[in-house]
Structure 1
Amino acid sequence: MNTLLIEEKFQLQIKEKVSIRPSVSVFQGIYKDNYVAIKIYDEHSTFIRETDSISRLYDKGVEVPQIINEGNINDSTYIMIQEWWNGIPLKERVKDLDRHTYKKILFDVGKLLAKVHFSLPYDELKEAVFWRRLEFNKFEDFTWNTYLNSLVDKWVANIRLNDKDKSIKLQEYLQFIHQHLYFG
């Protein structure tokens, strides 16, 4: 990743790394004299889905950092610049929570996303890309069941259990939920 090229093209300064996830690195930087979040993607599909989702959430009045600028450096590097919100990353906030509070936060986030998804009119939903995956690219092929199953598959695959989780048999609960989610 050529950060100098990114800084030059977008007229910003990259200050420090905030996080690295699969296909995206997040940095704090300065853009037009303001602190910003700079997200650097190495997958076009991830970039498109995230910018589409954030834009739709923002347009619906959900409090998310506004996208200030976006673009690409080449065919494999995509940039999103967002408002900077001070705070502690969610990952840091939830690591010491008790199980009940952690589940409540996940449930509340799920309710919020469901509310936004279900509030989209048919034409807007058809144009959205957050739901597009390899198994369905046309709206006519889309089903909520398949979409939810793909999300659960992704979430379960990314869970890293610690000793406390294993002691309460969390893996068995996840497998049970996963097996009973599939309806078709």
Structure 2
Amino acid sequence: MTMAETFTIMMAAIACQVLLSPIPEPSTIKVISVYLSSNCALFLYLTFASTGILQIIIRIFTSNATFLLTAIIITAFRRLYFSPLSHIPGPARFALTKLFIANEYRLGRVSYTIKALHQEYKSDVVRIGPNEVSIINADAVAKVFSGKYPRGTFYEIGAINGEVNVNTTRDYGKHTPGERFCEQCYQGV
């Protein structure tokens, strides 16, 4: 693989991260569909441009390895330094993936681990996942919910036939006026 091809693949990984991975939650379906369609396009290109099947397999493998390694490095960098939760104390490994906290759940010691993290970092709020925090003091809840963070993809599940309403929208610009309208309906009840 030439240096130009490697650079092109790395730029594709960076573009994929920038376009498809907003910091709160990436859409898995979008990422996988772009990844699979890119692989199909690469296979078709190599089928017409290459001479042997072994060469096609090697080039697809090296392209995927380069793409995935670049995407993993960018994801790690974004989660550690550019996430809205990056200022919250906690172990870096917990900020990178949920695997470590999932293992604590599996071993049945998650409550002890989280309590130890709060003591270790001397903080009411501790980061325990890429998009997850643990709050030990009720007064700290107001600090966490004071910002206007985009709502997670979980809210889109309730959209019937793709129709968005006050409960299923992720955009605060659309959510807040509808919420105020609904609040007026319940005043005096």
* TM-score (ref. length: structure 2): 0.28
Greater relative contact order (Cα < 8 A, sep 6+): 2
Question: Which structure shows the bigger proportion of residues in helix conformation?
Answer: 2
* TM-score (ref. length: structure 1): 0.28
